[in-house]
Homo-oligomer: A and B are copies of this chain.
Amino acid sequence: MRAPAVHNPALVTDWRRFSSDTLVAFVRMQADLLRELTPGVPVTTPLRAFAAEFDYFDVANAVDFISVDSDAAIKSKSSEIAASIDLMRSLKGPKGHTPDGDLGFWVMEQKAGAVAWGDVNSLVRPGVVRLFTYQLISRGASGVLYFYWRQPRIGPEKFYGGVLTHDGSGKNRMYKEISQLGEELKRMGGLLKGTQVVADAAILINHENHWAIDQPLKPNKHFHQREHIQLYYNALHDKNILVDFVRPTDDLSRYKLVIAPSLHMLSGGQADRLKLYVHNGGVLIGTCNTGLVDEHHLTPMSGYPYELTDLFGLEVQEFDTLPPGEENHMHFKGSFTTSNLHPARIWCDLIDPQPGCQVLAHYARDFYAGRAAITMNDFGAGKAIYVGTLSHQNFYFDLISWVRQLCGLFPLIKVPDSVEVCMRQKEDLRLYFLLNHNPTNVRIQFFKPMHDFLTGQKVSGNFDLEPHGVLVLDEKVR
């Protein structure tokens, strides 16, 4: 309810926990009723990534399998859609099954053309629905349903895209595109069976933390948690490194690299899990806006980040925030060598490194010029990197290129940045999906011959992938 001033954020966070728990209890109650009335029939409810009003992991626990709504359309950035799909796939962990026994999830609503709710609902260009369908499959979907089957003749969604147009004749462009796709998938079915997406890197995500950040009064209204996550995700995505999304309390030991963007709210238990992971040899990237409050939304009596100052070997007493357009800059030194200039923007922690903590970059300007901006600390058998600021996208590309080598991560396949790659694998098979999101040809260079599943041809040397084209490569592994 409305208050004369803003509500206490501790109260608001608790309210949102309660709201989420109530919603999950409601889903669970309905699922139980269905299981009793229609035994043996699997239960699901379609989810839409990053809407964040409730805890997706909790809802995932309450249903039998994950199903999703996908808005993939021509204007969306492919790496943002990829992040959504990866989050959905991660909800039930690596063992999530669909009703047909596959590992993965179903797509309950994939758009078959333009939507009706945009300001401008342009036609979806030829090949784009097929392209985004392959993106879903490459990242774990084992079933895709289109919406609409036929355009409705009445109501506000009359001109929403459909597999069929109003006349139902099947003479339209979209019907032909999806028919072709159906033929391809019919042939691919056996190969896909039993394959799975396996990631070596993870990004931490925590709905409570999102709620804790999303308050009316903030240090900087231009800080957006989703954007911060996406900066790191884009860097992994464009380097073709597969990513899971996991909670701080999940088992992190199977990952070579864990990134934890802005864990503003952090409990002592969560902090301990992060320390355990690094102590046992993991590489962790933490950032500014971490450990500012505990699980009760109370600031620590020490500096930040709460309970992690020993892990990162530093303490933050103050942080500066910058409006859009104002920037500090970073000077790099030590083991993270980059010849590029990178700005510090939005948020700048003023870091006091403790003895032994290596400074990788310091600020170049203002009254905190010379103070540490990025550090690395040895902790047990692992390494804890602290990035005390936000930068532009290019910085994250450089950071991931360097960290990748530090923890022995390799890109799936070497292709131009604008081609998206994902891989499904099982014991004896690797299935690579190469997606050209550009409206122009992209030249790919194959250093060894590969097998193009869709045409049955061998590809080697220079290969031109057509606009919005898809290449599926199957590789036997012994």
Q: A170 CB to closest chain B CB, in angstroms?
A: 12
With an 8 A cutoff between CB atoms, is A297 at the interface? yes
Q: A25 CB to closest chain B CB, in angstroms?
A: 23
With an 8 A cutoff between CB atoms, is A52 at the interface? no
> Do residues A7 and B156 form an inter-chain contact, with CB atoms below 8 A?
yes
> Do residues A9 and B156 form an inter-chain contact, with CB atoms below 8 A?
yes
Q: Determine which of B157, B296, B299 lies in contact with A166 in the assembled complex, contact meaning CB atoms within 8 Å.
A: B299
Q: Determine which of B154, B302, B318 lies in contact with A297 in the assembled complex, contact meaning CB atoms within 8 Å.
A: B154
What sequence of 0s and 1s flags, for each residue 34-74 of chain A, a beta carbon within 8 Å of any chain B beta carbon?
A: 00000000000000000000000000000000000000000
Which residues between 1 and 30 of chain A lie within 8 Å of chain B, taking CB atoms?
5-10
A300 contacts which chain B residues (CB < 8 A)? 166
With an 8 A cutoff between CB atoms, is A159 at the interface? yes
A99 to B292, CA, bound (A): 42
A216 contacts which chain B residues (CB < 8 A)? 156
Identity of the chain B residue whose Cβ is nearest the Cβ of A218 in the assembled complex: B121
A10 contacts which chain B residues (CB < 8 A)? 154-155
A296 contacts which chain B residues (CB < 8 A)? 154
With an 8 A cutoff between CB atoms, is A222 at the interface? yes
What sequence of 0s and 1s flags, for each residue 160-178 of chain A, a beta carbon within 8 Å of any chain B beta carbon?
A: 0000011110011100000
From known contacts A119-B323, A318-B123, A321-B120, infer whether A8 and B155 are also in contact, taking CB-CB under 8 Å: yes
With an 8 A cutoff between CB atoms, is A280 at the interface? no
Report the interface size for chain A: residues with CB under 8 A from the other chain: 57
With an 8 A cutoff between CB atoms, is A126 at the interface? yes
With an 8 A cutoff between CB atoms, is A219 at the interface? yes
With an 8 A cutoff between CB atoms, is A221 at the interface? yes
Q: A238 CB to closest chain B CB, in angstroms?
A: 26
> Do residues A156 and B322 form an inter-chain contact, with CB atoms below 8 A?
no
A297 contacts which chain B residues (CB < 8 A)? 154
A220 contacts which chain B residues (CB < 8 A)? 119-121
Which residues between 115 and 131 of chain A lie within 8 Å of chain B, taking CB atoms?
116-117, 119-123, 125-126
With an 8 A cutoff between CB atoms, is A187 at the interface? no
Identity of the chain B residue whose Cβ is nearest the Cβ of A75 in the assembled complex: B323
A477 contacts which chain B residues (CB < 8 A)? none
A406 contacts which chain B residues (CB < 8 A)? none
Other A-B pairs beyond A8-B156, A122-B321, A172-B318, 6, CB < 8 Å: A119-B221, A120-B220, A123-B320, A154-B299, A156-B217, A166-B301
Interface residues of A (CB under 8 A from B): 5-10, 116-117, 119-123, 125-126, 151, 153-159, 165-168, 171-173, 215-222, 292-293, 296-303, 317-323, 366-367
